[in-house]
Structure 1
Amino acid sequence: MAAGHPSQADCRRGVRAVLEGMPEGSLVLAAVSGGTDSLALAAALAAETTAAGVEAGAIAVDHGLQEDSAQTALLASQQCIGLGLEPVAVVPADVAATGEGLEAAARDARYAALADTATRLAGERPHIVLLGHTRDDQAEQVLLGLVRGSGARSLAGMPAVLTREGTPFARPLLHLPRATTEAATQAWGLVPWEDPMNADEGFARVRARRALADLEDRLGPGIAQALVRSADLLREDADLLDQLAESSVPATEPGEDGQNTVAVTDLEGLAPALRSRVWRRLLLAAGAPAGSLTATHVAACDALVTEWHGQGPLHLPGLRVQRSGGRVTIAPATTGQ
């Protein structure tokens, strides 16, 4: 499959960079929704497979959120088969309603379905799943983080490589603008599916996409690229702070009914940027759901150290946190204190 258009070469280079790090015989799977970005990803993977010495396939996830979702997933899989990818699987995702909203629930269900299918198809072989996020997706992610008042980790955007459900994922197109994947998809003669949710302003990401376009119109081009550059710089800072926080987590003393206590003196000497990260690790280790733990929750816990005036227990998602004298007790919400 020749890459006659520059956009095709750009997509292939991104995929090639990931494949060069995979052992020969690995299974590499593209997550394909049928949209422009994922089809460009699938085509680039198919074009690079032989030279890389890997087996390349695709997974189309049916979220079941739309009336024709099964047909859409089937059509996406057929285009992948037409590109020469094998194996190609169509799998359902169980989207369970959560307090985080439909987008977050669908994302979690998608990762779970992709990881489970990749593990099953790969067997004992090394494997990885490729995601089709672009530079525009990254800019939208950072803009949403700014609007929400999130910390450095959120503003750092999406990582190029991550692990979910024990499965490695990579984003080979994260450095490319959406215009490149659109041109590549057209050059490869593929027919993308237009997700009607991309026009629904009930979703925050759609509003962010349109707001970003407005900013480009008003302030000039390059806003998306600047947001992504800022995210790259913040990611380096956040990575360093996370490493320092990991080594600064104090020892806890176990108590009854799943309780853990930590000495106030072990926390109060930490710099605020480290202490907030240490608090988050302590709370997650005690059983707080990651998706429900907010900066407000962490700040309230920190006040038990920095602004102690005898306040009562804090009721966090899944936890009860209380200071008594020189120690803070972190316990499951179902236990008494």
Structure 2
Amino acid sequence: MSPRFPHSVNRARRAVEAALDPEGLTLVACSGGADSLALAAAAAFHRARDSARVGAVVVDHQLHPESEQVTATTLAQLTRLGLTPVISVTASVDPDSGEGPEAAARTARYRGFAQAMAQTGATRILLAHTRDDQAEQVLLGLARGSGTRTLAGIPAVRGPFRRPLLGLTRADTEEICAHAQLDPWQDPTNADPRFLRSRVRTEILPYLEAQLSGSIRESLARTAQIAAEDAAYLEDEAKSRFARLLEDPGPQGELRMELQALLAAPPAIRRRVIALAVVAAGGSTPSFERLAAVEKLLAKTGSAGPIELEGGVLAHRGTRGSPDYAKLVIVPRLN
């Protein structure tokens, strides 16, 4: 009797097929863990059928004593799967960036992806986030008191990046690796309680499963899907309203919008419009606290500002007697 063919293998292959670039080179980002090796195995199936060009990139963060060996072992397994080209890039993590260790590693990793795309001419990169990662991301968003966009979790598509395994579980990827006779690396940081995400993975989610619902991960992932659809609609509405409210820029690139028109917008749209203005002025997406501070300017009581926002952008309310009276003014950072 032939060994059982896991249903997870076909699910992964179908999901990956839709994520591959039919015209250009797609790279699988692989850490050597079960999730990314399973993704590589699914992509290699299509490479073997000559239905797509698929290679792989291993980003070595140099954060573990064994990172060089892990990279070498991962490259060998990717080559055995038949992916080509298979390359590695070194990512230098800046410990003084002020981002925190996890965020600094992510920044370095994406620099590595950009380097790999430039080196190979790849047009897409596949990332191996699973439904478990999605559940963890939603919980982290709830803990931080974030809005709909953060609760939407990890996007399936963003720029050149595709995440085809968001519908599969970590148990699925382990099953796929076993079927493909791959030897995944167990990253010790995944169980390190110093990292919040690791505590969510190893302590909080198991506790919620035991005390609340065994299907909590699926429920959180479904919440992310619903929130993503809601966020997309609200953002489209906000972009349309922003285009209507925005006046011609001032001599220093100042952005102006009528206070009354902003106040007439529903809060969910108004905050997004203000955030769009901040980004348009060269800043970054403001926090909820900074947005709330800007909203207080609209009431024409108390201070007229300025309020400093992310990226050095300033916001103030035009005062009586000024040409900006009854307007919210967003001033770009002056270098």
TM-score scaled by length of structure 1: 0.89
What residue identity is the alignment partner of 1:104?
A
Instruction: Give distance in 1, aligned partners of 2:53 and 2:28.
Output: 11
User: Among 176, 179, 184, which residue is 2:176 paired with?
Assistant: 184
Give the match for residue 283 of structure 1. 278
1:98 deviation in Å? 3.2
Q: Please say if residues 46 and 52 of structure 2, whose CA atoms lie closer than 8 Å, have aligned partners that are also in contact.
A: no
Give the match for residue 217 of structure 1. 210
Q: Specify every segment of 5 or more residues in structure 1 that has no aligned partner in the other structure, as ranges.
A: none
1:3 deviation in Å? 9.0
Aligned partner of residue 329 in structure 1, secondary structure: strand
Instruction: Give distance in 1, aligned partners of 2:299 and 2:136.
Output: 35
Q: Please say if residues 137 and 153 of structure 2, whose CA atoms lie closer than 8 Å, have aligned partners that are also in contact.
A: yes
Give the match for residue 265 of structure 2. 270
1:9 deviation in Å? 2.3
Give the match for residue 321 of structure 1. 315
Q: Please say if residues 190 and 198 of structure 2, whose CA atoms lie closer than 8 Å, have aligned partners that are also in contact.
A: yes
1:334 deviation in Å? 5.0
What residue identity is the alignment partner of 1:71?
Q
Give the match for residue 237 of structure 1. 230
Give the match for residue 75 of structure 1. 73
Aligned residues: 322
Give the match for residue 120 of structure 1. 119
Is 2:249 the partner of 1:254?
yes
Give the match for residue 60 of structure 2. 62
1:222 deviation in Å? 0.4
Aligned partner of residue 328 in structure 1, secondary structure: strand
What residue identity is the alignment partner of 1:319?
V
1:307 deviation in Å? 6.1
Aligned partner of residue 214 in structure 1, secondary structure: helix
Which residues of 2 match residues 1-337 of structure 1 at below 5 A? 4-19=5-20, 22-24=21-23, 26-51=24-49, 53-96=51-94, 97-122=96-121, 127-163=123-159, 168-209=160-201, 210-249=203-242, 250-290=245-285, 293-306=286-299, 308-317=301-310, 318-325=312-319, 326-334=326-334
Give the match for residue 322 of structure 2. none
Instruction: Give distance in 2, aligned partners of 1:216 and 1:63.
Output: 33
Instruction: Give distance in 1, aligned partners of 2:290 and 2:75.
Output: 43
1:14 deviation in Å? 1.8
Gap change, CA 1:6 and 1:146, over 3 Å in 2: same
1:188 deviation in Å? 1.2
Identity across matched positions, percent: 43
C-alpha RMSD over aligned residues: 2.1
TM-score scaled by length of structure 2: 0.89
Aligned partner of residue 49 in structure 2, secondary structure: helix
1:313 deviation in Å? 2.0
Instruction: Give distance in 1, aligned partners of 2:162 and 2:25.
Output: 13
Aligned partner of residue 321 in structure 1, secondary structure: strand
